[in-house]
Amino acid sequence: MRHKKNKLLELHTGAKKRDVFVRQLLSNLVKNGKTTTTPKRAKVLKSEIDSFFANLVKMNKKLDEKNARRESIRYIKSVIFGEAEGKKVLNVLLPKYIQSWSTSSFVADYKLGFRVGDGVQKILLKLI
């Protein structure tokens, strides 16, 4: 039986590989500002990035400035690969999202057509 299973969120890479894979996609999206991927991966990545930035914004709303920065650094290190990407989130992206008080829709997705090799649809994810 398939009780409460969402087939769209499965990436078929194994439990540990899935987490590492999603974190790598997230790090690449933060580093470049955009990424091209398949619809299934895009849906997973979009939900992960929304929850990531929503948690950071909520953390900065609840805590005072010093503690919020410390907790944000801890949380970013646990999710993002790479020190440069973490600094970009902390210094560039996070202040923009805190100023707008947005708690969702941090990523826009655009359909690009189909891949040449296997005909899978391509989707461009772009940070807003």
The answer to whether residue 8 scores a pLDDT higher than 70 is: no
- Say what the pLDDT of residue 104 is: 82
- Check which CATH number belongs to the domain holding 122 and give it: 3.90.1030.10
Q: Is residue 46 part of a domain?
A: yes
Q: Are 53 and 106 in contact (CB under 8 A)?
A: yes
- Say what the pLDDT of residue 36 is: 95
Better-predicted residue by pLDDT, 101 or 13? 101
Q: Is residue 89 part of a domain?
A: yes
Q: Is residue 117 part of a domain?
A: yes
| Distance from C-alpha of 113 to C-alpha of 27, rounded to nearest angstrom | 24
| Phi, psi (rounded to 5 degrees) for 30 | -70, -40
pLDDT in tens, 28-73: 999 999 999 999 899 999 999 999 999 999 999 999 989 999 999 9
Q: Is residue 5 part of a domain?
A: no
Domain containing 27 equals: 13-127
CA dihedral 75, 78, 82, 86 (to 10 degrees): -10
The answer to whether residue 5 scores a pLDDT higher than 90 is: no
Residues 6+ apart with CB under 8 A from 36: 112, 122, 123, 124, 125
- pTM equals 0.84
Q: Are 103 and 54 in contact (CB under 8 A)?
A: yes
- Say what the pLDDT of residue 57 is: 93
The answer to whether residue 17 scores a pLDDT higher than 90 is: no
Q: Is residue 93 part of a domain?
A: yes
- Say what the pLDDT of residue 12 is: 67
- Mean pLDDT value of segment 13-31: 85
The answer to whether residue 18 scores a pLDDT higher than 90 is: no
pLDDT in tens, 79-122: 999 999 999 999 999 999 988 877 788 999 999 999 898 899 99
Q: Is residue 27 part of a domain?
A: yes
Our count of domains for the chain comes to 1
Residues 6+ apart with CB under 8 A from 117: none
